Amino acid sequence: MTSCPLPRSRYEKILLGHGSGGKLSADLLQRIILPAFENPTLNGLEDQAILKLPVSKGRLAFTTDSFVVKPIFFPGGDIGKLAVHGTINDLAVGGAKPLFLSAAFILEEGFAIDDLDRIVKSMSLACKEAHVELVTGDTKVVDRGKGDQIFITTSGVGWVPETCSLSIANAQPGDHVLVSGTVGDHGIAILSVREGTLFETPLQSDTAPLTSLAQLILEVCPETRCMRDPTRGGVASTLNELAIASNVGVKIQEAAVPLKNEVKAACEMLGLDPLYVANEGKLIAVVPSRDSEKVLAAMRNSPLGAQSMKIGEIVEDHPKRVTIQSRMGAERIVTLLTGEQLPRIC
């Protein structure tokens, strides 16, 4: 896509006045935000979006996330694309069809309007690809040195069929743990930009919308216990939350965890455990063992799940704990990290 050049204006940087609710706010909205998302609900400029839901039966899914990733542009994406995918994925892994998004921007005085334009265009494209509409939003400006370029908070609503009841409290001993592809790509992609190029070809973030993959899993296996996208904190944190909520043990096979060579190399070089590194286009599904092969086959046929693997099982032993068995056969506990491995990863 070649994006057309932004019409030149008097303002090339964000001013405090762009957050005033006055003429500059209106200008920013008319010139940058509305043209990107162009839909009748947003164009109405009401204080709230009023939305017709597609069917009356079912339940509402509602989620929110703030995005403070640094740098704001990185291989494979940017803060805007991430903010759209992150919120869509939190709906999708709950079994919901994502429908509508909101976006609230906190801009730092002096932020380049061209960068904002690039980010909202990227968000718009991500929305179109995922068949969701961005229907309401807000823009605030903070004084220079009191923010960091741009923070974006997206919220999303979706619709869940009445029959669907996924929960991290549902896992049962014997269930299989599946992951939809290579682990740690997003975190290492961000880190490689921060640390200077670690690789000859830059590793791309895996940021992607998981709706189709999640829906596919539910079609093939309506008894799926739960799905999660292992973002911040990685696979290790997600599995720990699951073990605690379901009061079960989780046993992972190290050899089964799919890893890109670059991620493996970077983790070895930097002393990181890839299980804790963030993903933005992967999901973990816990399914009854009888359905595991069928679900894996379906996932592998899907573009975003080609490298899906069964990485472990739910066990009765060591409830509330996650263990990993190394290639050499040794077993160790995978705890929740106390500190922060990679700040501002999403």
Site for its own copies in 117-156 (CB under 8 A): 135-138, 140-143, 145-148, 151, 153, 155
The residue among 55 and 328 lying less far from its own copies, judged by its C-beta, is 55
286 binds its own copies (CB under 8 A): no
The answer to the question of residue 160 lying near its own copies (CB under 8 A) is: yes
Assess 344 for contact with its own copies (CB under 8 A).
yes
Cβ-based nearer residue to its own copies, 60 or 306: 60
DSSP E strands, 172-302: 176-179, 226-228, 249-253, 284-287
Distance CA 182, CA 281 (A): 10
Among 37, 74, 105, 111, binds its own copies (CB under 8 A): 105
Q: Which of 3, 9, 38, 45 binds its own copies (CB under 8 A)?
A: 45
User: Closest distance between its own copies and the C-beta of residue 330, in Å?
Assistant: 23
First to last CA, the chain: 25
Give bridge partners of residue 177 from the DSSP assignment.
Answer: 286, 312
User: Residue with structure tokens 């993959």?
Assistant: 213
Examine residue 60 and tell whether it contacts its own copies (CB under 8 A).
Answer: yes
Site string for its own copies, 7-26 (x = CB under 8 A): --------xxx-xxxxxxxx
Find out whether 206 and 89 touch, Cβ atoms under 8 Å.
no
For residue 67 the two structure tokens come to: 């995005």
State which of residues 28, 36, 42, 68 lies at the interface with its own copies (CB under 8 A): 68
Give bridge partners of residue 176 from the DSSP assignment. 287, 313
| Residue closer to its own copies (CB basis): 170 or 289 | 170
What single-letter DSSP state applies at residue 29? I
Spatial separation of the C-alpha atoms in residues 47 and 42, rounded to whole Å: 10
Phi, psi dihedral angles at 270 (to 5 degrees): -100, 0
Residue among 225, 232, 282, 321 that touches its own copies (CB under 8 A): 232
Question: Is position 192 an interface residue for its own copies (rule: CB under 8 A)?
Answer: no
Strand, helix or coil for residue 5: coil
333: contact with its own copies by CB under 8 A = no
